[in-house]
Structure 1
Amino acid sequence: MAETGQQRYFAAVDIGASSGRVLVGWVEDGAVKLEEVHRFDNIQRRVNGHDCWDIEMLVEGVLAGLAACAERGQVPVSVGIDTWGCDFVLLDEAGQMVGDAVAYRDARTDGIFERADAVLPPADLYAATGIQRQPFNTVYQLMTLSEEHPEQLERAARFLMIPDYLVWRLTGVQVNEYTNASTTGMLDAVSCDWDPKILDALGLAHDLFLKPTMPGAVVGGLTPEVQARVGFDAQVVLPASHDTGSAYLAVPAQDESSIFLSSGTWSLMGVENPEPILTPESRAQNFTNEGGYERRYRYLKNIMGLWMIQSVRRELNGVEYVAGKHAEQGEAATAAQRAERRTYSFGDLIELARQAEPYEAFVDVDDAAFLSPDSMIAAIRQACGASGQEVPQTPGQIMRVIYRSLVGSYAAGVEQLRALTGRTFSAINVIGGGCQDAYLNQLTADACGLPVFAGPVEGTGLGNLAVQMIAAGEFASVGEVRAAIGRSFPIQRYDPR
């Protein structure tokens, strides 16, 4: 390992729905190197009747991770933070949080469309923002908050999204980073600034929001208190702070004929465009135009993704499963049942899905019933039964339903992209954790009729680092850093059968 004085290191803080990581990256002989330094939990807690993020846990995890960089002798010259989109905190004039950081899967926005559409007609909202219609969009969260706790908005002096808040805790500087702000459903897609008509419709003070800052901007150094904690100073650089924005930067696509698929808790399938597509046809298909690095537009379909697999695995491992029948939560298990209980790895579930072939039932993975059910297995069974299909009984059949349904949604997404963009596509580039699932990758190639290039796994962290490395002069452009990523990490090809 090179000494810190000889080698420039960069730290990427990448936080997802269940955990966060601090990654260290550097450039060596033209290749991008990457190591995970620290991992920490991200936990939702029930607070004041809502599912909320433990913000202080996240702050502590970030600080512990940066301190670990120093302990390893890999002191970064810059730090970047990315997280999921839509969620936010409010601060008062003294910088104290007003209310809680409610999580996007909380039920507070259930049924919001009936109330919201009278104030913000969906056609007008899409024509202005280009953002897909989802009940958890920030615009709807704020509307719900104004109904439930108007006093919080009255006290609030600043709106910060989750990565903005973490940047403020590191630097003492408040910013609204552009790519994450674009997920709110309140940003004008053309001007890339807050839409005053939307803010007025919600009754929100305009000075609650800061003019969005583009990724690549240097926010500033660490505060003295943070320096004392982590053992160094570094510049905080804004990456594409929405995790999908970072992930798309790491796709080693060779040309514009590739479809990008960021495969994680959500599957984000789409392309990069120089301009937003705000047509009624695009709205009807619920495609979104999220902001990207250099004002690129990530034109994509948000598909439920590996959340269904993750949920089923947690359920199988936490609830008795006996004789091919799932015991519903709360049902007492006999001693014989407990003796039959087992723990399933993701590899086990993949193999069980293979063994369940040719079981062919499927569901609409984008149905709201799968967003946050008490039992994912029960929700899948109910959907299959309601559509007149054979109801899955075994874990393998449940998994087979998920896989068939996911790739069916991918295939539909490819056809929608062709129709909406007028482009033809030659390949699908898969990044993120899902790129390790060879079974899913092969089924995707088969269903879509396109070769699938899988990798790199650490797409989000690499995209975060890419912006920092460009800002520091390690690479001259997105194309250059993407080419380096393609050389630096293994890419597996799957051809349609």
Structure 2
Amino acid sequence: MAQETVSGAFLAFDLGAESGRAILGRLQRGVLDIRETRRFPNEPVRQHESLFWDILRLWHEIGQALSDAAGTRLASVGVDGWGVDYALLGERGNLLENPRHYRDPRNQGMMEAVFERVSREDIYAVTGIQFLQINTLFQFYAACRLTPDVVDAAHALVTIPDLLNYWLSGRLCSEYTIATTTQFVDARTRTWATHLLSAIGLPTRVLAEIVQPGTVVGELRKEAAPALAGTPVVAPACHDTGSAVASVCAGGSTAFISSGTWSLLGTELDAPVMTAKARDLNFTNEGGVCGTIRLLKNISGLWLLQACRRSWVVDGHPLDYDALLSAAADDRLAFASLVDPDHPAFLNPADMPAEIACYCRRTSQPEPSGPPAFARAILESLAMKYRAVLESMEGLTGRRVEQIRIVGGGSRNRLLNQFTADATGRTVLAGPIEATALGNIAMQMLATGAVSSLTEARAVIDRSFPVERFEPSATDRWDAPYRRFQQYLAEERVRVI
């Protein structure tokens, strides 16, 4: 049972690639109650050809949320956020420039440039991290090549949540789960891979001390929140996916999908899987809480549908999301067009519907006709990509997955949940929606002694937040379209290479 000897509420700041929120959690009689106290947009800012994050706007919103909580007795606060993006700080801790967005075009071609210095095989053998153009390793290499004056002035490189926890507490450090997303960490020793970084040509002087999730990094500074000064600041699993997975049991025969703009599909392990097969399949070994490793693969997720909706708004056709999904459920649209959600063309196109239509023409499929057909194609394709990744992961671990736990905002998409159950033939448990904030709070509870173990924290969350169950049905009707889908993946992979 929860100890509940800690008085006060837990304030979690959860920053996503589209929005941020402040969530207040209270533990009473073994049940956790949460309330969203503030929500705010997180939109990139384009300056000429470059794409940046408005980090000072995020800091302002955090300050406003702290002001809102001034009359609340807080046990602790903590920030989690998306991975890979970073800030460079000067000698006095000053921000040298606004952090770049992971979709910034300057990252193009940097992965190949790094491989000219150190091979893909050697990088994976040390870090166990999947290769994506957006990874910090390639972003920072771009900075070293294109803005060397800024890098020369830098005394610290910190991820976005580490930066905000630093501004709150005054302590500069790198929390382990988010540090692993940089591709700078040795997966076996769980320390900075300084020899690898030096071989690539990246300065290692900018790396801060790595701390484990659940570390109290300091106290709220008076300058950040006068009325709450002295409140413990906890580094939770600062990577939002790490926090989401911390909230649920996701090992053994259970896989997780953290569903949102990105879908992260994986499982919890005790040790990394860094075989040649894992490398070739581009699986990643990210740091988890309490000594675990999250073996997972990034999938583009609901980004395609979000980008389509933006295009339709620009064209003067705003659509209600629920109505769109209801129309997409029409079985007359089934399996008409399928796309690879992770095709490079879908990373950041000016017109997502046009790009999807182009993919369909290239693969001799009918172009989707109207928003419901686009939505159906995207959701079916996502479910099939989940199946492909799940089958690959089972081959790597030797473990059969019996159920899939879908958490995060995307778990509200009941149509995708059912498609996932049908396509994979596995039971799907959907929820909690606020898994990331709950995982953040779980590590705050552990850090402050409100619970004695991760198992206890997860039990509290399970008691407090019911899940919705989706059983597979008519799975055989997915088999032929799935073979078609695999063929498209193979054909497009050859074209990209």
Q: How does 1:308-457 map onto structure 2 within 5 Å? A: 308-320=304-316, 342-355=317-330, 356-457=332-433
Matched, 1:471 2:447: yes
Q: How does 1:26-45 map onto structure 2 within 5 Å? A: 26-45=26-45
What is the distance in 1 between the residues matched to 2:225 and 2:376? 50
Matched, 1:85 2:83: yes
- Report SS of the residue matched to 1:226: coil
What is the distance in 1 between the residues matched to 2:140 and 2:359? 31
2:291 to 278, 290, 295: 295
Relative to structure 2, which stretch is displaced further, 239-248 or 74-83? Answer: 74-83
Letter in 2 for 1:56: L
Deviation at 1:18, TM superposition (A): 1.5
Counterpart residue number, 2:236:
239
Counterpart residue number, 1:152:
150
Counterpart residue number, 1:278:
274
Letter in 1 for 2:452: A
1:374-411 CA distance string (max 9 Å, x none): 11101110101100111112111111110111000001
Counterpart residue number, 1:480:
456
1:107 to 86, 105, 108: 105
What is the distance in 2 between the residues matched to 1:380 and 1:144? 29
- Report SS of the residue matched to 2:349: coil
What is the distance in 1 between the residues matched to 2:343 and 2:48? 28
Distance change in 2, residues 1:185/1:307 (3 Å): same
What is the distance in 2 between the residues matched to 1:169 and 1:145? 23
Distance change in 2, residues 1:396/1:104 (3 Å): same
C-alpha root-mean-square deviation of aligned residues, in Å? Answer: 1.5
1:227–1:233 Cα contact (<8 Å) kept: no
What is the distance in 2 between the residues matched to 1:259 and 1:475? 25
2:181–2:286 Cα contact (<8 Å) kept: yes
- Report SS of the residue matched to 1:295: coil
What is the distance in 2 between the residues matched to 1:404 and 1:261? 16
TM-score, length of structure 1 as denominator length? 0.92
1:216–1:468 Cα contact (<8 Å) kept: yes
What is the distance in 2 between the residues matched to 1:287 and 1:433? 23
1:126-169 CA distance string (max 9 Å, x none): 11101000001011011111111111111111111111111111
What is the distance in 2 between the residues matched to 1:35 and 1:232? 22
Matched, 1:142 2:136: no
1:259-302 CA distance string (max 9 Å, x none): 11111111000000100011110011111001111221110011
- Report SS of the residue matched to 2:52: strand
1:194–1:211 Cα contact (<8 Å) kept: no
Letter in 2 for 1:189: A
What is the distance in 2 between the residues matched to 1:232 and 1:89? 25
- Report SS of the residue matched to 2:404: strand
Letter in 1 for 2:292: R
1:315-352 CA distance string (max 9 Å, x none): 212214xxxxxxxxxxxxxxxxxxxxx43121122112
What is the distance in 1 between the residues matched to 2:6 and 2:282? 49
Deviation at 1:496, TM superposition (A): 0.5
1:212 to 194, 198, 210: 210
Letter in 2 for 1:408: M
Counterpart residue number, 1:23:
23
1:24–1:74 Cα contact (<8 Å) kept: no
Matched, 1:119 2:117: yes
1:178–1:212 Cα contact (<8 Å) kept: yes
Letter in 1 for 2:420: T
Deviation at 1:41, TM superposition (A): 2.0
Matched, 1:66 2:66: yes
Counterpart residue number, 1:10:
10
Deviation at 1:10, TM superposition (A): 0.4
- Report SS of the residue matched to 1:207: coil
- Report SS of the residue matched to 1:225: coil
Deviation at 1:481, TM superposition (A): 1.3
1:197 to 169, 176, 195: 195
Letter in 1 for 2:275: T
2:163 to 159, 162, 165: 165
- Report SS of the residue matched to 1:309: helix
Deviation at 1:224, TM superposition (A): 2.0
What is the distance in 1 between the residues matched to 2:49 and 2:91? 26
Counterpart residue number, 1:262:
258
What is the distance in 1 between the residues matched to 2:442 and 2:223? 28
Deviation at 1:206, TM superposition (A): 2.5
- Report SS of the residue matched to 1:275: coil
Deviation at 1:203, TM superposition (A): 2.7
What is the distance in 1 between the residues matched to 2:268 and 2:211? 20
What is the distance in 1 between the residues matched to 2:456 and 2:6? 23
What is the distance in 2 between the residues matched to 1:472 and 1:206? 33
What is the distance in 1 between the residues matched to 2:306 and 2:454? 32
Letter in 1 for 2:116: A
1:85–1:183 Cα contact (<8 Å) kept: yes
What is the distance in 1 between the residues matched to 2:98 and 2:318? 35
1:237–1:468 Cα contact (<8 Å) kept: yes
When the two structures are aligned, how many residues end up with a matched partner?
468
Deviation at 1:7, TM superposition (A): 4.5
TM-score, length of structure 2 as denominator length? 0.92
Relative to structure 2, which stretch is displaced further, 393-402 or 110-119? Answer: 110-119
- Report SS of the residue matched to 1:294: coil
Letter in 1 for 2:319: Y
- Report SS of the residue matched to 2:456: helix
Letter in 2 for 1:251: V
What is the distance in 2 between the residues matched to 1:295 and 1:108? 35
Letter in 1 for 2:222: P
1:169-223 CA distance string (max 9 Å, x none): 1111111111111001111001111111222123333221123111111111111
Distance change in 2, residues 1:252/1:423 (3 Å): closer
Relative to structure 2, which stretch is displaced further, 371-380 or 343-352? Answer: 343-352
1:7–1:26 Cα contact (<8 Å) kept: no
Deviation at 1:430, TM superposition (A): 0.6
2:6–2:449 Cα contact (<8 Å) kept: no
1:452-491 CA distance string (max 9 Å, x none): 0011100000000000001122211111111221111121
2:335–2:380 Cα contact (<8 Å) kept: no
- The structure 1 segments of at least 4 consecutive aligned residues displaced by more than 4 Å after TM superposition are none
- Report SS of the residue matched to 2:238: coil
2:222–2:229 Cα contact (<8 Å) kept: no
2:53–2:99 Cα contact (<8 Å) kept: yes
Deviation at 1:492, TM superposition (A): 0.6
2:197–2:204 Cα contact (<8 Å) kept: yes
